[in-house]
C-alpha cells in the first residue's frame, strides 16, 4: 500500500530541484525531501485526504488563479501598529517592508539564515514537522521544507515591541510560492504574528513554532479573498509549561484552502486555542485539519471552527484530540459548526477523541444547519429587514470563533472584514 502511494508521486518528487542554500539548510532540505519521498504524495485514497482532493496541490505546476481587486476594503491590520514584511508571490519585497529591527526581536529571512549557522534555527527547521508526521503522515509539509525559497526566522526573548505582520501579495496568475517560517519563543517571551493575503496562485506555508515555558504566542491570520487561489498551510507547534498558544484564521473565498495545525502540549498547565471563521460562496472548498496532543498535566486545548457556506461551497473539519497516558486533568474542547445558507452547500466533519488518561474532561460537538427561521422572524417582527437580519445571525454564528482573538483592535479589524463580506454577499 505504502509502495503504491510512493509510486504515485515518485516521478514528481524525483524531479524536485532543491533551492541553493548554505550547508545546514541544504542538509535539512535533503532530509525533508527524503521524508516526502518515503511517504509519497497524498491522493484522495488517503484517509486524511478523503474530503479534500489534493490533486491541484500535488501537481508539478500551479493552476492559474486570476488576480483579485479587493476594491475599497482597507488592507488587513492597517490600523494596527506593526512591523510589516511583504512577500509578493513568495519573493521578499524589501522596498515595501519595514525595518525588521523595529519589532524588537531577532528576525531574519530564511534565505539569509541558510547562509549563516544559527544553531537554534537548525534545531527547529523541519524538526517539529518531522515530529508531526506521526501518527498521520503529512508529506506536503515535508515537501514544503524541501522547497521553501524563503520565510522568516524569528527568535523572541522578551515581549516583542510590535506584532510582526507578514503580508502575502499575489501578482502573477500562475505563481507558485512556498514559504517556511521558524519561530522560537524563549521562556517568558511574547509575540503576536499577523499574516494576511493570498500569497500566490498556489501558496504553501509551513510555520514551526517552539513556545518555551511561560511564553505566549498569538497568531491572527486572514487569507486573501482571491476567488481562484489555492492555499495549503501547516502550523507545527511545540508548547512548553505554563505557556499560551492562540491562533485564529479568517478565510473568505478561495477555491481551495487546507489549514493544518499540529501541536503538542509537552509542559504542564498550558493553554492552546485554535479557531477559524470561514465564509465561502460558490467555488469554495475549505478544510481545517487539526491534531492536538496532550502529553502533560492540566493543559487546556480548545478548537472552535465555524463555516458559513453558500452556493455549493464545501466545508471540511478533521479535528483530533489525543490525550496521552499521564496527561491528567486535561481539558479538551472542540466544536465545529457550519451554517448552510442553501441546500447546495455541504459540511463534512470528522471529530475524534483518543484518550489514555483517566482523569480528563474532553468534549466535542459538530453541527450543521440552516439559519434559524424562528430567530429570523423574531428579528423581522421588530422591523429588521430580512437581509440585515440574516447578516446579524451569520455574525452571531461566527462570533464564538472571533471571541478567541484577545486583542480587541485586531478582533475589530476581523469583524470589519466579515461585515464587508456579508454586505457584499447578503446585502
Partner 1 sequence: MLTINNLHVKLEEEDKVILKGVNLTVETGKVHAIMGPNGSGKSTLSYVLSGREGYQVTAGEAILDGQSLLEMEPEERAAAGLFLAFQYPVEIPGVGNMTFLRTAVNAQRKARGQDEMSSAEFLKVVREKAKALKIDAEMLKRPVNVGFSGGEKKRNEILQMAMLEPKMCILDETDSGLDVDAMKLVADGVNALRSEGRSFLVITHYQRLLDHIAPDVVHIMADGRIVKTGGPELALEVEQNGYADILAEVL
Q: 81, exposed or middle or buried, with CB in 10 Å at 0-12, 13-18, 19+?
A: exposed
369 binds partner 1 per the rule CB under 8 A: no
Among the residue ranges 126-134, 295-303, 349-357, 385-393, the one whose residues contact partner 1 (CB under 8 A): 385-393
Which of 141-149, 155-163, 335-343, 393-401 is the region at the interface with partner 1 (rule: CB under 8 A)?
393-401
Give yes or no for residue 415 binding partner 1 (CB under 8 A). no
By the rule CB under 8 A, 72 interacts with partner 1 = no
**Judging by beta carbons within 10 Å of its beta carbon (0-12, 13-18, 19+), is residue 98 exposed, middle or buried?**
middle
Near partner 1 in 197-256, by CB under 8 A: none
Report in angstroms how near the CB of residue 407 gets to partner 1 at its nearest.
20
Q: Does 71 help bind partner 1 (rule: CB under 8 A)?
A: no
Q: Is 48 left (phi over 0), alpha (psi -120 to 50) or beta?
A: alpha
Min dist CB 313 to partner 1, Å, is 21
Q: Is 387 helix (H, G, I), strand (E, B) or coil?
A: helix
Q: Which of 3, 358, 359, 374 binds partner 1 (CB under 8 A)?
A: 374
Our CA angle for 274, 277, 282, nearest 5°, is: 140
399 near partner 1 (CB under 8 A): yes
Nearer to partner 1, 85 or 389 (CB): 389
- Residue 195 grid coordinates: 499574516
Q: Which residue lies nearer to partner 1 by CB, 123 or 386?
A: 386
Nearest to 134 by CA among 236, 212, 4: 236
158 or 385, CB closer to partner 1?
A: 385
Task: Please provide the DSSP assignment of 327-375 as one string.
Answer: -TT-EEEEEEEEEESSTT-EEEEEEEEEE--SS-EEEEEEEEE---HHH
List 43, 108, 366, 395, residue binding partner 1 (CB under 8 A)? 395
Segment near partner 1 (CB under 8 A), from 31-39, 243-251, 340-348, 382-390? 382-390
Report the residue from 67, 371, 393, 426 that binds partner 1 according to the rule CB under 8 A: 393
Q: Measured between alpha carbons, how far is 286 from 197 in angstroms, rounded to an integer?
A: 16
Q: Which three cell numbers stand for residue 93?
A: 519585497
Helices (H), 171-330: none
Per CB under 8 A, 400 contacts partner 1: yes
Which H or E element spans position 288?
strand 285-294
User: CA 270 to CA 239: how far, in whole Å?
Assistant: 8
Residues 6+ apart with CB under 8 A from 365: 334, 335, 336, 337, 351
- Of 6 and 384, CB closest to partner 1: 384
Contact status: 366 vs partner 1 (CB under 8 A): no
List 70, 362, 388, 426, residue binding partner 1 (CB under 8 A): 388
How near is the Cβ of 386 to partner 1 at its closest, in Å? 7
Quote the least distance from Cβ 382 to partner 1, whole Å. 4
| Nearest CA among 226, 38, 208 for reference residue 129 | 208
Q: Which is nearer to partner 1, 65 or 389 (CB)?
A: 389
Does the footprint of partner 1 cover residue 392 (CB under 8 A)?
yes
Q: Print burial letters for 178-193: b (CB count within 10 Å at least 16), e (below 16).
A: bbbbbbbbbebbebbb
Q: C-beta of 412: minimal distance to partner 1 in Å?
A: 14
Q: Choose, by CB under 8 A, the member of 377, 423, 424, 427 that binds partner 1.
A: 377
**Is residue 397 involved in binding partner 1 (CB under 8 A)?**
yes
Per rule CB under 8 A, is residue 396 in the interface with partner 1?
Answer: yes
Regarding 408 and contact with partner 1 (CB under 8 A), the answer is no
Give yes or no for residue 411 binding partner 1 (CB under 8 A).
no
The site for partner 1 (CB under 8 A) is made up of 372-375, 377-386, 388-389, 392-393, 395-400
Amino acid at each position: 500500500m505504502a509502495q503504491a502511494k510512493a509510486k504515485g508521486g515518485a516521478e514528481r518528487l524525483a524531479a524536485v530541484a532543491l533551492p541553493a542554500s548554505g550547508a545546514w539548510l541544504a542538509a535539512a532540505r535533503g532530509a525533508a525531501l527524503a521524508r516526502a519521498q518515503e511517504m509519497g504524495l497524498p491522493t484522495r485514497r488517503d484517509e486524511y485526504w478523503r474530503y479534500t482532493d489534493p490533486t491541484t496541490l500535488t501537481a508539478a505546476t500551479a493552476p492559474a488563479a486570476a488576480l483579485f481587486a479587493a476594491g475599497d476594503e482597507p488592507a488587513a491590520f492597517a490600523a494596527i501598529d506593526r512591523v510589516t514584511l511583504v512577500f509578493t508571490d513568495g519573493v521578499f519585497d524589501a522596498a515595501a517592508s519595514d525595518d525588521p529591527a523595529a519589532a524588537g526581536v531577532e528576525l531574519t529571512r530564511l534565505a539569509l539564515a541558510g547562509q549563516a549557522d544559527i544553531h537554534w534555527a537548525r534545531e527547529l527547521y523541519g524538526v517539529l514537522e518531522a515530529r508531526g508526521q506521526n501518527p498521520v503522515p503529512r508529506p506536503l509539509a515535508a515537501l514544503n521544507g524541501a522547497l521553501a525559497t524563503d520565510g522568516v526566522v524569528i527568535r523572541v526573548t522578551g515581549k516583542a515591541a510590535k506584532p510582526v505582520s507578514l503580508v502575502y501579495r499575489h501578482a502573477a496568475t500562475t505563481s507558485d510560492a512556498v514559504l517556511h517560517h521558524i519561530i522560537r519563543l524563549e521562556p517568558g517571551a511574547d509575540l503576536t504574528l499577523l499574516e494576511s493575503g493570498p500569497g500566490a496562485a498556489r501558496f504553501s506555508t509551513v510555520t514551526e513554532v517552539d513556545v518555551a515555558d511561560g511564553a505566549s504566542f498569538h497568531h491572527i491570520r486572514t487569507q486573501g479573498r482571491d476567488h481562484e487561489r489555492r492555499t495549503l498551510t501547516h502550523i507545527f507547534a511545540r508548547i512548553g509549561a505554563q505557556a499560551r498558544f492562540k491562533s485564529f484564521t479568517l478565510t473568505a473565498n478561495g477555491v481551495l484552502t487546507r489549514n493544518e495545525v499540529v501541536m503538542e502540549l509537552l509542559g504542564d498547565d498550558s493553554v492552546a486555542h485554535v479557531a477559524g471563521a470561514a465564509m465561502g460562496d460558490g467555488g469554495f472548498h475549505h478544510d481545517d485539519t487539526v491534531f492536538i496532543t496532550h502529553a502533560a498535566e492540566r493543559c487546556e486545548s480548545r478548537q472552535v471552527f465555524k463555516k458559513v457556506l453558500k452556493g455549493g461551497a464545501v466545508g471540511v473539519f478533521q479535528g483530533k484530540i489525543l490525550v496521552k497516558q499521564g496527561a491528567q486533568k486535561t481539558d479538551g474542547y472542540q466544536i465545529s459548526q457550519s451554517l448552510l445558507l442553501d441546500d447546495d452547500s455541504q459540511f463534512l466533519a470528522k471529530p475524534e477523541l483518543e484518550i489514555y488518561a483517566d482523569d480528563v474532561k474532553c468534549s466535542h460537538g459538530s453541527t450543521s444547519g440552516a439559519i434559524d427561521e424562528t430567530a429570523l422572524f423574531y428579528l423581522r417582527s421588530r422591523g429588521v429587514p430580512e437581509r440585515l437580519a440574516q447578516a446579524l445571525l451569520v455574525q452571531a454564528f461566527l462570533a464564538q470563533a472571533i471571541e478567541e482573538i484577545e486583542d480587541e483592535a485586531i478582533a475589530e479589524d476581523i469583524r470589519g472584514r466579515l461585515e464587508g463580506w456579508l454586505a457584499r454577499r447578503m446585502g
